Chains A and B, each alone.
Chain A
Amino acid sequence: MTSVAMADQLAGKGAARAARRRKHRMEGGFRRPGWLTYLMLSLFIVISVTPLYYAFLLSTSTAADIAQNPIPSPIPQGHFVENLGRVLNAGIGFWQALVNSVIVSVVTSLAVIFFSTLAGYSFAKLRFRGRNGLLAFVIGTMAVPTQLGVIPLFIVMSNLGWVGTLQAVIVPGLVTAFGVFWMTQYLSEALPYELIEAARVDGCSMIRTFWHVALPAARPAAAMLGLFTFVGSWTNFFWPFIVLGSTNPTLPVALQLLQASYFKDLSLIMAGVVLATVPLLLLFAFAGRQLVSGIMQGAVKG
C-alpha cells in the first residue's frame, strides 16, 4: 500500500491531498538524469565491454590476419569453431580443465553458502560462551594474505598426499572468513528472534529451525555470497596453479599454459580466453539480474 493511500485511511481526504501534492513536488525535484550522466555511463560501458568483445573478435580471426592488422573489422569472422577445436586439441587438457573448474566452483560455492550460513546463524542468533572472541578471531583471519598460507598449506597437502588432486583446492575453500562475517552481519539484521522462538514453540529442533527458518531468511545474502564465491573460485589462479600444476589444471591454469606455449598464435589464445570466460558470462547474463536485484533487496546493512 502506498503512503498516499495509507494517509487516505488514517487522516482523511485533506491530508491525503496534501501528501499527494508533496509527493508530486518531491518527484519533480528528482529530475531525470541529464545527458551528461548518460554520456559518462556510455563511455564506461564502452571501456568495460570493448576489451572483451575485442578478445572475441580475435578468436574468430586467424593468426595471419591479426599479424597484418591489430584492429580487425568489428564483424566476427568465421574461424571461431576452428580455433576452438585447436584449443581443445592443443595438448593442454582444456576439456579436463573445464570439468575441473565446474566441479571446484560448484562444490565450493554450495559448501561456502551452507557452512557460512550455519556459522553466521550461530554467531548472530545463538548465545554461547566465547562467541564474541571467536567471531573476532574469524574476522581477523581475513587479514592474513594468501601468500602467507600457501607455503605451509603446500606442506600440509603434500603430507596428506593431495598434491595434484581436486580436493586440495576444494577443502581449504569450504568455508571462508568473509562468508561467515557476511552472513553474521546479514542474519543479525534480517532474522527476527520472534521467528526463531515461534519455530521453537512449534517444536522445531535446532537443526530444523536452521533449515526451515534461517536458511530461507538468508536467501538474498546467500545469493550474493554464492555469486562472489563462484566467480572467485572460477577465476582463482594462484593456489590451483601451485597445488594442481599442469597435469590436472583448472581453466585459469590451463590458460596460462596455453599462453606460455602458444604465445605467437593469438587467435588460438583468444579462443582459450573466450572459452574460459563465456560460461561465467552466460551464468551472469541469465542469473545475474535476479542475483543483483536479490542483493539490492537486502544485503550489507551498514
Chain B
Amino acid sequence: MVVILGLFLFVPVIMAAWVSVSDWNGRGSPFSSNVHFVGGTHYAEMLGGRGLAARDFGTAIRNNLYYVLFVVPLQTAISLGLAFMVNKRALRGKGFFRTAFYFPSVTSTVAITVLWLFLFSASGAVNAVLSWLSIQGPNWFADPRGVFHLLMGGGDAPAALSQPGLFGISTWEWIAGPSIAMAAFIMMAIFTTSGTFMLLFLAALQSIGEDTDEAAMVDGASVWQRFWYVTVPLLRPTLFTVITLGLIGTWQVFDQIYTGSQGGPSKTTLTPAFLSYQSAFESQRWGRGAAIAFILFAIIVIMTLLQRLILGDADPTKPSRRQLRADRRAHAAAAEVVTPAPVRADETIDRGGGRHG
C-alpha cells in the first residue's frame, strides 16, 4: 500500500512540479522532447505581473482568504459547542441529537449547493422568511457587493486606496470582505461540516472521560471554568486536527463554485482551486493550472504551521493551573474530609494493558 500511496501521491507531485515550469499544452506526454522548460514564467505571471492572470489570481486568493477566515473559526466553535452539549451525561435523547447533527454532513456538496441556490434565490425561501420580518433580502448569488464595504456605508473607493496593490488588487478591493454571494457559500460550508467535526470532538470528549471534570468540580470550578481550563486544553490534539482539516478543506473549495456560481458574480466567488481547474482543463493552460495548485499547496502548509505555532504559544492551561491550584488550596479542608476513592479494579487493568502500546 505504500507503493499505491507513493504511485498516486508522490509521483504526481513530481510531475505537477515539472508541468508547472514547462510549456506542455496537454497533448502527448509532458516528458516528450517538444515540451520546453520555461522556468518560473507561470509563477511570475501570477505573483508579479499586473495582467489579467495576476488580477484573477489575487482576487481568488482574497475571496478564499475571507472564506477561510469566516468558516474555520465558526465551524470549529459550533462543532465544539455542540459536542460539549451533546456529551452531557444526563442529556435525554443523546443518540437522536448526534444522528440529527450529522445528517447535513452525509449529503453531497453538489446536492446541498443545488438546494442552496434555490433557498437563496431572489424569490427563494430565505428572502420569503426575511420579508415576514419586513427585511428586503438581497439577490444572494447575484450580488457581488462586499460585506465589509456595505458595513462601511457602501460608497466609492477613496483615492488613496484605489491604487493597484498586492497581486494587482487595490487595497480597497482587499478590504471588501466576502461578497454576499460568498457569504451564502460560507453559511453553507458551516452547515455541512459542523456535524463531522462534532463527531471528532465527541469521540475525543468520550476518551477524556469524566474523571478530570469531576476533579475540577470537586475543587469548585464553575461550568465555564471547567470547559475553558480543563476540557479545552485536553482537547488540544483534536482541536489541532479539526483546524488542520478545516484549513485544508476550505482552501480547496471547488464543488460549490463549479456547481453554483462558476466564480461569479464579478469574480467574487472565484477561488484558486476553481481557477486552477479552469486554467488547466478549460483553457488548456496546464502549466498555469499546476502552478496555481502549487501555490495553493504552499499556502496550506504555511497556514497549518502558523496555526500550530499559535496553538502552541497561546497556552490556556497556564493561568488555569494557577487558578485551580488556588481553588484547590481553598478547598483543601473539604478534600481532607473525603476518604480516598476506592480503586476501580476494572479500570486499572484496562489502563495497564493499554500502556504497553
The residues of A with any CB-CB pair to B shorter than 8 Å are 1, 3-4, 6-7, 10-11, 15, 18-19, 22, 26, 29-33, 37, 40-41, 44-45, 47-49, 51-52, 54-55, 58, 70-71, 115-116, 118-119, 124, 134, 138, 141-153, 155-156, 159, 171-172, 174-175, 177, 180, 188-194, 224, 228, 231, 234-238, 241-242, 251-252, 255-256, 259, 266, 269-270, 272-273, 276-277, 280-281, 284-285, 288-289, 292-293, 295-296, 298-302
Q: In the complex, which of the residues B86, B103, B124 has the most CB atoms of chain A within 10 Å of its own CB atom?
A: B103
Name the one of B115, B294, B297, B345 contacting A273, with C-beta atoms under 8 angstroms.
B115
Q: Pick the contact of B19: A33, A152, A276, A280 (CB < 8 A).
A: A152
Q: Is B1 an interface residue (CB 8 A)?
A: yes
CA gap between A257 and B300 in the complex, in Å = 31
Q: Which 10 A-B pairs have the closest CB atoms?
A: A235-B108, A152-B15, A7-B342, A152-B12, A148-B293, A175-B1, A252-B110, A147-B293, A237-B255, A172-B8
Q: How far is the CB of A168 from chain B (nearest CB, A)?
A: 11
A241–B273 CA distance with the chains assembled, in angstroms = 14
- Complex contacts, B272 vs chain A, CB 8 Å: 147
Is B97 within 8 A of A41, CB to CB? yes
Count B-side interface residues using an 8 Å CB cutoff.
105
Determine the distance from Cα of A224 to Cα of B98 in the docked complex, in whole angstroms.
14
Beta-carbon contact of B90 and A31 below 8 Å: yes
- In the complex, the chain A residue whose C-beta lies closest to that of B107 is A277
B332 at the binding interface (Cβ < 8 Å): no
Whether B342 pairs with A47 at a CB distance below 8 angstroms is no
Known: A15-B342, A26-B214, A44-B82. A299 touches B203 (CB 8 A): yes
Q: Is B318 an interface residue when CB atoms closer than 8 A count as contact?
A: no
Asked whether B243 is an interface residue with its Cβ less than 8 Å from the other chain, the reply is no
Asked whether, in the complex, the Cβ of A152 is within 8 Å of the Cβ of B16, the reply is yes
Q: Enumerate chain B residues within 8 angstroms of A252, measured Cβ to Cβ.
A: 108-111, 255
Whole-angstrom CA separation of A198 from B259 in the bound complex: 55
Neighbouring B residues of A52 by C-beta, 8 Å = 103-104, 107
Kindly list chain B residues whose C-beta atoms are within 8 Å of the C-beta of A142.
Answer: 248
**A2 and chain B: residue at smallest CB distance:** B344
How far in angstroms is the closest Cβ of chain B from A49? 6
A-B contact pairs, 10 of them (CB 8 A): A15-B339, A18-B339, A51-B119, A71-B128, A118-B1, A180-B5, A192-B354, A252-B108, A255-B110, A284-B106
CB-contact partner of B357 in A175, A189, A295, under 8 A: A189
Residue of B9, B125, B289, B300 near A177 (CB, 8 A) is: B9
Contact B4 A151 (CB under 8 A): no
A42 nearest CB across to chain B (Å): 9
A143 and B289 in contact (CB under 8 A), knowing A172-B8, A252-B111?
Answer: no
Q: How far is the CA of A236 from the CA of B98 in the complex (A)?
A: 23
Complex Cα distance, B118 from A237, in Å, reads 20
Q: CA of A156 to CA of B204 in the docked complex: distance in angstroms? A: 39
Given the known inter-chain contacts A15-B342, A256-B110, A295-B203, please indicate yes or no for A192 contacting B353, CB distance below 8 A: yes
Contacts of B199 in A (CB 8 A): 292, 295
Chain A residues whose CB sits within 8 angstroms of the CB of B38 once the complex forms: none
Contact between B281 and A242 (Cβ–Cβ < 8 Å)? yes
Among B29, B204, B248, B293, chain A packs the most CB atoms within 10 A around the CB of B293
> Do A300 and B238 touch across chains, with their CB atoms under 8 A apart?
yes
Measured in the bound complex, the distance between the Cα atoms of B195 and A35 in whole Å is 22
- By beta carbon, the residue of chain A nearest B119 is A51
B191 at interface by CB-CB < 8 Å: yes
B324 to chain A, nearest CB (A): 17
Q: Known: A151-B16, A273-B114, A302-B207. Contact between A141 and B85, CB under 8 A?
A: no
Which residues of A lie under 8 Å from residue B195 when comparing CB positions? 48
Q: B342 contacts A6, CB within 8 Å?
A: yes
B88–A33 touching, CB < 8 Å: yes
Q: Is the CB of A235 within 8 A of B109?
A: yes
Most B CB contacts (10 A, CB to CB) among A44, A172, A298, A299 go to A44
